[in-house]
Amino acid sequence: MAKVVVTGRIPEAALEKLRAEHEVDAWDGEQSISREELLAKVPGADALVTLLTERVDAELLEAAGPQLKVVSNVAVGYDNIIVADCTARGVRATNTPGVLTEATADIAFGLILMATRRLGEGERLIRSGTPWKWGMFFLLGSSLQGKTLGVVGMGGIGQATARRAKAFGMEVVYQSRSEIDPAIAAELGARRVELDELLAISDVVSLHCPYGPNTHHLIGAEQLAAMKPEAYLVNTARGPIVDEAALAQALREGVIAGAGLDVFEKEPAVHPELLELENVALVPHLGSSTVETRTAMAVLASENTLAVLRGEDPVTPVN
Ligand code: DGY
């Protein structure tokens, strides 16, 4: 039996799979495990099942010991893992692509609707007890029909968001490292463009690229200024892709019309200026947060772990 350390609370279905074959030591605190507790928990582990709140680096891998074989992240994003440090020690790293695609695209589209139709503002107004009644010019938003969605990062989640946009009558352009499958591009009517063109012609820009050194502050003051003043920015990928201070300034000064954010630069902190602005919808990293999706993510992470411990290739490796 190998020792599997699970660094946060995960659905029971996934724990059962792990317990059927191995000894499992799972963190059960309501809050994320602290760095000190994590470093104290991992020595002797053959496998780590990690959440995106835990940083996996040389220090942690060292603390675990040379018997460690796999780090299975319960997330599609793995910017919390220094993959090179894993590879250098012969440790497999895995993520959970595919299973959270639709749930995350739902939240991206939810934020598009919240921002363009001012749903958060409307809800805050009612809850505040402010008197209101229907009026011709009351809380007017912006229609999606006939507008252009610009998808930055056209992987599975970007494509699923584009599919929703098509159903809402939007045109789709995308920026991506490579062309997508021509059949999917044709189905979506999606055209690949450079980021500059995407920013200039899109009415809604939705971010779906991974976070890393190449995408740090991909959207800053210059890129926001390149967008139309009536356009919206939505981020369900990773917070630091957007320069939050520049975004707050752009929203305050009307450089763009509005934004919707599920992720934040210094998560869970939110830039204080964003909290003061009406034209930004803010939700707390809910992209994958459905019972079905979180269960599927944790089960996939368990399958990756079990495969490596059996000496097989993981289902969804990142190294
Ligand atoms: C992921 O899997 O990377 C998501 O951000 C989790 O919600």
What is the reported pLDDT for 142?
98
User: What is the sign, positive or negative, of the torsion defined by CA atoms of 124, 126, 129, 130?
Assistant: positive
Q: Using alpha carbons, select from 236, 238, 280 the residue that is nearest to residue 258.
A: 280
> Residue 137 C-alpha to ligand 1 middle, in angstroms?
38
pLDDT tens sequence across 248-265: 999 999 999 999 999 999
Helix/strand number for the chain, H first, E second: 13, 12
CA distances from 11 to 49, 74, 194, 232, 246 (A): 12, 11, 41, 35, 38
For ligand 1, atom 2, name the residue with the nearest CA.
75
For range 282-289, the mean pLDDT: 98
If residue 93 lies in a helix (H) or strand (E), which one and from where to where? Answer: strand 92-94
Q: Give me the helices (H) in 129-215, please.
A: 156-167, 182-188, 195-201
CATH code, 101-282: 3.40.50.720
Distance (angstroms) between ligand 1 centre and the Cα of 76 equals 5
Tokens of 92: 């497999």
- Give the residue, by CA position, lying nearest to ligand 1 atom 1: 75
Ligand 1 atom showing the smallest separation from residue 96 Cα: 2
Question: What mean pLDDT comes out for the span 225-253?
Answer: 98
* CA 77 to ligand 1: nearest atom: 3
Average pLDDT over the chain, rounded to whole?
A: 98
Expressed in percent and rounded to 5, the helix, strand and coil fractions of the chain are 40, 15, 45
CB atoms within 10 A of CB 125: 16
Note the pLDDT of residue 143: 98
The rounded Cα 235 to chain-centroid distance in angstroms is 8
Measuring from atom 7 of ligand 1, which residue has the nearest CA? 288
- What mean pLDDT comes out for the span 198-223? 98
Using CA atoms, how far apart are residues 89 and 68, in angstroms rounded to an integer? 9
Supply the pTM of this predicted model: 0.96
Per-residue confidence (pLDDT) for residue 289, from 0 to 100: 98
Its ipTM equals 0.96
Q: Which two tokens stand for residue 178?
A: 């490579």
Q: Which of 290, 250, 296 is nearest to 273 (CA)?
A: 250
Name the burial class of residue 55, with classes exposed (0-12), middle (13-18) and buried (19+) by CB atoms within 10 angstroms of its CB.
middle
Q: Tokens 């300034």, residue?
A: 249
- What's the gap in Å between 241 CA and the centre of ligand 1? 14
Q: Three-state SS for 203?
A: coil
User: Taking residues 214-226, what's their average pLDDT?
Assistant: 98
Q: Determine the pLDDT at residue 72.
A: 98
- Please report the pLDDT score of residue 41 as a whole number: 97
Provide the pLDDT for residue 233: 99
Measuring CA to CA, which residue among 261, 291, 264, 274 is closest to residue 108? 261
- CATH class of the domain at 3-99+291-309: alpha beta
CB–CB of 112/206 below 8 Å? yes
Give, for ligand 1, the residue of 81, 208, 288, 300 to mutate: max count of ligand atoms closer than 8 Å to Cβ. Answer: 288
Q: What is the pLDDT at residue 47?
A: 98
What average pLDDT does the segment 305-317 reach?
Answer: 98
> Average pLDDT, stretch 302-309?
98
Ligand 1: distance of its center to the CA of 95 in Å?
A: 10
Mean pLDDT of 107-131: 98
* pLDDT tens digits, one per residue of 1-21: 999 999 999 999 999 999 999
> What pLDDT is attached to residue 117?
98
Compute φ and ψ for 85, nearest 5 degrees.
-65, -35
Q: What is the mean pLDDT of residues 78-84?
A: 98
Which residues are the active-site residues? 238, 267, 285
Query: Domain ranges in the chain?
Result: 3-99+291-309, 101-282
Evaluated on CA atoms 124, 127, 128, 130, the torsion sign reads positive
Cβ < 6 Å from ligand 1: which residues? Answer: 52, 75-77, 100, 285, 287-288
Q: Which atom of ligand 1 is nearest to the CA of 287?
A: 7
pLDDT of residue 158: 98
Q: Compute the residue count for the chain.
A: 319
Tell me, what's the pLDDT at 129? Answer: 98
Query: Which atom from ligand 1 is nearest to the alpha carbon of 285?
Result: 7
Residue closest by Cα to atom 4 of ligand 1: 75
pLDDT at res. 215 = 98
Q: How far is the CA of 1 from the centre of ligand 1 (A)?
A: 30
- pLDDT class of 96 with cuts at 50, 70, 90: very high
Tell me whether the omega of the peptide bond preceding residue 268 falls within 30 degrees of 0, making it cis. yes
Q: Where are the alpha helices (DSSP H) in 207-254?
A: 221-226, 244-253
